[in-house]
Structure 1
Amino acid sequence: MSRRLVPLALTLALGLAPVVAVTTGATAGQAERRAAPSRTVDLPDGWQPEGVTTGRRGKVYSGSLADGSILRLNPRTNRTVVLPDSAVGKPSVGLDYDKRRRILWVAGGPEGEIRAVRLGTGEVLRTYTLPAAANDRFVNDLVVTSGAVYATDSANQELGVVELPAGLTLPPSGAATLLPLTGELVYQDGFNANGIVESNRGNWLVLVQSNTGRLFRVNAATGRTLQIDLDGRRVRNGDGLEAKGDLLYVVRNANNRIDVYDLKRNVRSGDRVKVIRTPDFDTPTTATVVRRSLWVANARFGVDDPETASYWLTRVDR
């Protein structure tokens, strides 16, 4: 497999920052020795991964931007299989696993939709479409909670919401509702709200604004946002988020790194405790926890001939 970086012209066209090597008083050799040990698992050529999540029994699921297919990986054996009914002909972007219903939720990107997908086959069970908006929709990522599915729209300052009944049934296909985002989050040019997770502290969601590098706490009931104080730091090109306890993993795509923050109890601030790098990252977009590891999707945005290019998942120690 080749490990080609994103060409500068295409990087700028995608709204991503060029990858810049950053040192903090260490030599290049020292930085290399600090790189996280990793391994990779190949995806089908032309897969174009974006979202990744963990399902039943620690299986990892990866979605394809190319045709919406979903792949299942067994991390114990590295065996992969594409779910037979998952190729819907439109992108699968962010993914999240619904433990109660044992299904996958899929963000539809430019299709402006949220899909509920059968875990074993990839069959689409329900489709919920966000109403038309001032800007073209881009449903980027989503998170399922006990009461609803919340999806970010990177172009419109609101979340798409699918309210979930108390039982295990799904609402019929139809229109998703909208939750306007108010407070301190202000959309700007480029990709805005991207990754989203649920905090384990109260009724809070956490999302990242990619173009400004800011994290926000979101009231899931009202949509009111509050910027999370990162002690002056930014997480520009923040893409997928993964939460484990009080730790928040922020995948920074064009920077080829994952920043790890310890969020405080009120989710108003966080301290950076680690930066994860490895040469096996190539525009990582999302990550999911499996036991003591992170499995990371490498989107390789801007690579030559994406329809035939090689793609892979990277495993790193948490």
Structure 2
Amino acid sequence: MTKSLRLRASTALLTLPLAAGGLLAPAVAAPSGAGDRIDLPTGWQPEGVTTDGTDLYVGSLATGKILRADLRNGRTTVLSKSETGKPAVGIDYDRWRDVLWVAGGPQGEIRAQSASNGRVLATYRLPHRKGRFVNDLVVTRKAVYATDSMKQQLGVVRIVDGQIPPSGRAEKMRLTGDLQYEDGFNANGIARSGRWLVLVQSNTGTLFRVNKKTGRTRAIDAGSHDFSNGDGLEPDGKRGLHVVRNQDNLVVDVRLSPRRLKATVVEEQTSSDLDVPTTVADVGTSLWTVNARFGNTTPTTADYWITRLPDPEG
């Protein structure tokens, strides 16, 4: 069962530039066909969001279902064949093949699912699934790369001749170099930036550049800024990056250097409508972020929604 869009007045949105003068006055989001908030079904428990440029796709931690939200009018539809009974964590739209790639969390798997009806097309399991948490992923023309928050590696699915390979084992690429795993959740969000990958280590608040051929990592110097509770990453143009800090209710706009070894924080955004945001999708002049509401004591009966924020560089 889906809910229709609940149109609201603009939320109390704050844009927080990191300038010597302190905070600017609250900024108000521009109008959107889908309004500033899209409601999800009761008990949905979202974590990942992605876009094909017209629609948003949101997975469910509870059931594995995937929901499509039309940004022209805010209407939502659950993809009819998407329920897997296993978590849908990170999710990324594959524009080359019209496929949704889904991270399976504690199931230790990566799934390719139809963007039209959600049917599972193929499943790729990381070796020794126990103790794994496949958290987020990013698709390129030639491969899919997924973070494992518990094991210092990426799961990799190679795309051969532009086609989705048959189900089987995912490759594992060991992460070497500056990144060192510690207790807690480690590598989380991942994005492509130029010829590299960029990931965030949640427990240390550090961004890393990753060589997608070798897995070698280099820490990205962000000065005194850290990205504690870093979750989803979303590229913005050639060198822009949005970093979601879940428990801090922040979306941070970052500018990366040409070699992706330095990061300048442009501004931070928060809103009274955010409640533990996890990931964000960039569509035109808008950022759409899902609210996971981690810590809610009644997740199966709780309300969930997507919040619209302005894209600072949109």
TM-score w.r.t. length of structure 1: 0.88
Matches within 5 A, 1:148-163: 148-163=143-158
Identity of aligned residues (%): 53
1:36 deviation in Å?
A: 5.4
In structure 2, distance between residues paired with 1:222 and 1:232: 29
Q: Which protein, 1 or 2, shows the higher relative CO under an 8 Å CA cutoff with sep ≥ 6? A: 1
1:146 has 2:138 as partner: no
Q: Is residue 146–residue 156 contact of structure 2 (8 Å, CA) maintained in 1? A: yes
For residue 144 of structure 1, report the CA deviation from its aligned partner. Answer: 0.5
Query: Which residue number corresponds to residue 92 of structure 2?
Result: 96
What is the letter of the counterpart of residue 140 of structure 2?
Answer: T
What does residue 4 of structure 1 align with? none
Equivalence for 1:76? 72
Query: What residue in structure 2 maps to residue 15 of structure 1?
Result: none
Q: CA RMSD in A?
A: 1.9
Higher helix share: 1
- Distance in 1 (CA, whole Å) between partners of 2:307 and 2:28 is 11
Q: Which residue of 2 aligns with 1:252?
A: 245
- The 1:268–1:59 alpha-carbon spacing in structure 2 relative to 1, beyond 3 Å, is same
Number of the residue aligned with 1:278: 271
Shift of 1:130: 0.2
* Number of residue pairs matched by the alignment: 290
Answering whether residue 49 of structure 2 is matched by residue 52 of structure 1, we say yes
Question: Which residue of structure 2 aligns with residue 62 of structure 1?
Answer: 58
Partner of 2:159: 164
1:85-234 equivalences under 5 Å are: 85-132=81-128, 136-167=131-162, 169-199=163-193, 201-202=194-195, 204-234=196-226
User: Structure 1 residue 34: deviation in Å?
Assistant: 2.3
Q: Distance in 2 between matches of 1:116 and 1:72?
A: 16
Distance 1:88 1:26 in 2: 50
* Preserved contact between residue 35 and residue 278 of structure 1 (Cα < 8 Å): no
1:174, distance to aligned residue in structure 2 (A): 0.5
Residue 263 of structure 1 and its aligned partner are, at CA, apart by 0.5
- For the residue of structure 1 that corresponds to 2:271, the secondary structure is coil
Q: How far did residue 166 of structure 1 move? A: 2.3
1:186-240 C-alpha deviation (Å, 9 max, x unpaired): 00000000000000x22x1000000000000000000000000001211000000
Runs (4 or more) in structure 1 with deviation over 6 Å come to 23-27
**Residue deviations 1:83-137 (CA, integer Å, cap 9, x gap):** 011111010000001111010000000000000000110000000000006x601
Q: Which amino acid aligns with 1:300?
A: R
Unaligned runs of 5+ in 2: 1-5, 7-17, 30-34
Cα distance in 2 for residues equivalent to 1:172 and 1:120 = 19
Q: How far apart are residue 170 of structure 1 and its match?
A: 1.2
- The 1-side partners of 2:20 and 2:303 are apart by 35
Equivalent-residue separation in structure 2 for 1:249 and 1:58 (angstroms): 20
Give the structure 2 partner of residue 292 of structure 1.
285
Q: What residue in structure 1 maps to residue 38 of structure 2? A: 41
Paired position in structure 1 for 2:14: none
For 1:264 and 1:147, how far apart are their aligned partners in 2?
Answer: 25
CA distance in 2, matches of 1:131, 1:58: 36
